[in-house]
Chain A
């Protein structure tokens, strides 16, 4: 499914809508798109809507940052940007087994991702215009995407 976005506010609204559908679920979401496409903006709004109170900032350097959602479940934020070309097993399965995990630059850890995941790809247009394509790859992610359709 394709969604056209025209501002940062619309990116945030989309993240909040997806967050409502993910609440209390166990799911992995991948975000792909160029530098500056809006992945971090999306994740900040997503986490806030899930009740994360601490500052969500870029995990590029430490690769993984973990937060607590309003319901006590973890929100893991992985950024594989620096893992391009590296074949290291960093034990991400532990993250994928609990709460919600958001993965940026997921193409660099493709073979470690679980089958069932919601994938969002951000295509950049001029200025703040974006096209976001959402795709579900399993039962849980499909149910979330169907919820969004309704």
Chain B
């Protein structure tokens, strides 16, 4: 079974062909990620106009690279939400057009669910399962009792973890993207500076805004007092604090749900070396649970994961019709 997946929920326009849930035949991502600004971040490709310019090219390129035609495709899957509404519409319209022109089933897919299902590309997911999704826009802990049920145990109450990394990096003058730079500097430093411990009400919820402000206030205080500080130590103190927040929640969730058999990660922040190290440590603590941190091509925003999620949704019987529309705040399903 071959599924064509389309993703356009935010910055990336992406199209992929996925065979039998496991094999990515082609994956095209049109993104201007290397157009960095002088200071700060990337100019986001969020205007629907840019997605419209990219989408036809991506569809054509994905089919060509896979050596397929639309006749070979069994169904068309597309991100329905969440995301920026103007961007979502472009992908949904393209998917509807393809599906109706070629008489293929249409399958709406949830972006966050797709990040989790991306693990199927490297492992057979076992349930009940706990998933951590960490990226520039997401920080969620999701419990899945079976393949098609989702319960958000915890989520960030303010900034996403990747966003906190980027903003702290900007404050420290490290440039963009901030994650890899902080990760690298933290390896050379020690967690010697006292930063504000995040506070949340929910047992599994996250918060990173207070920690971000705490780094800011620390640098200002040192300046006021005419003191110097070690940038590597500060990066390390921040990273340890941020990851402690994540891992204390993972521990709580695993301890509260002894039935969990599999733990998976999704999202771009899973590239972080310290996060990977800490997951290795979990393996010895919880020997009965399988831990999977997939390679980066599965983790970042792409359409391969939409193809995988589309396959699972297709088999479970989910279909969209001509009324399908993007939904900026679609609950996970």
Chain A: residues with CB nearer than 8 A to chain B?
A: 34-36, 40-41, 44, 54-55, 57-58, 60-67, 81-86, 88-91, 126-127
The reply to whether A58 and B163 form a contact with Cβ atoms under 8 Å apart is: yes
Interface residue stretch chosen among B56-64, B116-124, B212-220: B212-220
Is B157's CB within 8 Å of the partner chain A?
Answer: yes
- B115 vs chain A, min Cβ distance (A): 13
Q: Give the CA-CA distance A57 to B162 in the complex, in Å.
A: 14
The CA-CA distance from A55 to B83 in the complex, in Å, is 16
Residue in A55, A58, A84, A88 whose beta carbon sits within 8 Å of that of B160 in the complex:
A58
Q: Is the C-beta of B47 less than 8 angstroms from some C-beta in chain A?
A: yes
Chain A to chain B contacts (Cβ below 8 Å), 5 pairs: A44-B157, A88-B49, A89-B47, A90-B47, A90-B84
The answer to whether the Cβ of B198 comes within 8 Å of any Cβ in the partner chain is no
Known: A57-B157, A58-B163, A82-B41. A63 touches B212 (CB 8 A): no
Contacts of A127 in B (CB 8 A): 217
Whether the pair A66, B328 counts as a contact (CB closer than 8 A) is: yes
Q: From B42, B46, B167, give the contact of A63 (CB < 8 A).
A: B46
Give the residue name and chain of the A residue nearest to B135 (CB). Answer: A61
B43 at the interface (CB under 8 A from A): yes
Residues of A contacting B83 in the complex (Cβ-Cβ under 8 angstroms): 62
Chain B hits for A58, CB < 8 A: 156, 158-160, 163, 209
Q: Which of B280-330 contact A (CB under 8 A)?
A: 328-329
B191 on interface, CB distance cutoff 8 Å: no
- Interface residue B183 (Cβ < 8 Å from any Cβ of A): no
From residue B85, how far is it (CB to closest CB) to chain A in Å? 7
Option from A55, A64, A81 in Cβ contact (under 8 Å) with B328: A64
Across the two chains, which residue of chain B brings its CB closest to A54?
Answer: B329
Whether B40 sits at the interface, judged by CB under 8 Å, is yes
Q: Are A91 and B157 in contact, CB atoms less than 8 angstroms apart?
A: no
B171 on interface, CB distance cutoff 8 Å: yes
Which of A57, A64, A81 is the one whose CB lies under 8 Å from B85? A64
B residues 135-187 in Cβ contact with A at 8 Å: 135-138, 155-160, 162-163, 167, 170-171
Beyond the given pairs A63-B46, A65-B329, A88-B49, 12 more chain A to chain B contacts, judged by CB atoms under 8 angstroms and listed by A's residue number, are: A34-B216, A35-B216, A40-B159, A41-B209, A44-B158, A55-B157, A57-B159, A60-B159, A64-B85, A82-B41, A84-B41, A88-B50
Closest 5 interchain pairs by CB? A61-B137, A36-B213, A88-B47, A86-B43, A36-B216
B10 contact from A36, A62, A66, A84, Cβ within 8 A? A62
B133 → chain A, closest Cβ, in Å? Answer: 13
B328 contact set on A, CB distance < 8 A: 62, 64-66
Closest to A79 in B: B163
Cα separation A34 to B217 with both chains bound (whole Å): 12
A86 touching B44, Cβ below 8 Å? yes
Task: Return the chain A residue nearest B214 by Cβ.
Answer: A36
On whether the beta carbons of B158 and A84 are closer than 8 Å, the reply is no
Name the contact of A85 in the complex, choosing from B43, B163, B213 (C-beta under 8 A): B43
Complex: A90 Cα to B86 Cα, angstroms: 7
B227 close to chain A: CB less than 8 A: no
Contacts of A83 in B (CB 8 A): 43-44
Residue B82 at the chain A interface, CB threshold 8 Å: yes
Query: How far is A85 from B49 in the complex, measured between Cα atoms in Å?
Result: 17
